[in-house]
Amino acid sequence: MSDAQNPASVVSGSTVPEYDPRSEQLGRVYSQALVSLAEDDAEADALLDDFRAVIHEILDEHPDLEKLLSSHLVETEEKVAMLERIFAGKISDKLLRFFKVVAERERLDCIRSIYRQVRTMIDEMRGRLRVHVTTAVPLEENLENKLVEMLRQRRNLDPYLIHHVEPSIIGGIIVRIGDTVFDDSVSTHLHQLHQQMIDRSVHEIQSRRDRFSHPEGD
């Protein structure tokens, strides 16, 4: 079973995707158009698989290509021709036609936002909730479970945690679900989880100090 099919799974990641409200808003509009092209769940999943391959197997590996497709200095006709040369026969005809429409509207610079929004829409259709969690240190299993349960109760969806470790936030915890702003009650729960992390760190420091102060054999 893949991670996307395992709702409560926790996946480690190195960086959190950059968030641009305008780009994500446009991505949401285009993602709705793409998902509406799918005739059934199987085709929606197939479109997402092809889109994922374009992002991770092509654009991630060839950043200069992404710059060309996103550039407003490249003529629209040339972008459409590039899409045809590169992707014809390699991805579904529907997805290729969709990319051409996006190119004609000069929105290929939003392609990653569109992908994220398509993925989010299909997750929601399957009852999944994709959650980016950033902490200074790896979360312990009991804290992961508490966070999953809290989100499940409040969103009525099965959380799919993507965990990022970023030491620069110094003991904090950041939770992002798309462009969702947490309400006060959720923030309180996150603060409580944050406090548990701090308490754990203090306990570990105190334990080390005690071991140094009372070495074995003295």
Average pLDDT of the chain? 80
For the entire predicted model, the pTM comes to: 0.63
Task: Walk me through the domains of the chain, giving residue ranges and CATH numbers.
Answer: 18-123 (1.10.520.20), 127-213 (no CATH)
Give the mean pLDDT of 50-57.
Answer: 96
Q: For the chain, give the percent of residues with pLDDT over 70.
A: 71
Task: Identify the pLDDT of residue 151.
Answer: 81
Task: Identify the pLDDT of residue 21.
Answer: 74
Beta carbons within 8 Å of 135's beta carbon, 6+ residues apart:
163, 164, 165, 166, 169, 172, 173, 174, 197
Nearest-angstrom CA–CA distance, 207 and 196 = 16
Q: Is the pLDDT of residue 194 over 90?
A: no
Q: Is the pLDDT of residue 138 over 90?
A: no
Q: Around Cβ 159, how many Cβ atoms within 10 Å?
A: 24
Question: Which range, 20-29, 47-56, 140-149, 176-185, is most confident?
Answer: 47-56
| pLDDT category of residue 57 using cuts at 50, 70 and 90 | very high
Asked if 163 and 139 count as a contact pair (C-beta separation under 8 A), the reply is: yes
Nearest-angstrom CA–CA distance, 91 and 82 = 14
Q: Is the pLDDT of residue 96 over 70?
A: yes
Q: Is the pLDDT of residue 203 over 80?
A: no
Give the mean pLDDT of 135-145.
Answer: 81
Task: Identify the pLDDT of residue 154.
Answer: 80
Amino acid at 91: I
Q: Is the pLDDT of residue 199 over 60?
A: yes
User: Longest Cα pair distance anywhere in the chain, in angstroms?
Assistant: 81
Strands 173-176 and 128-135: antiparallel
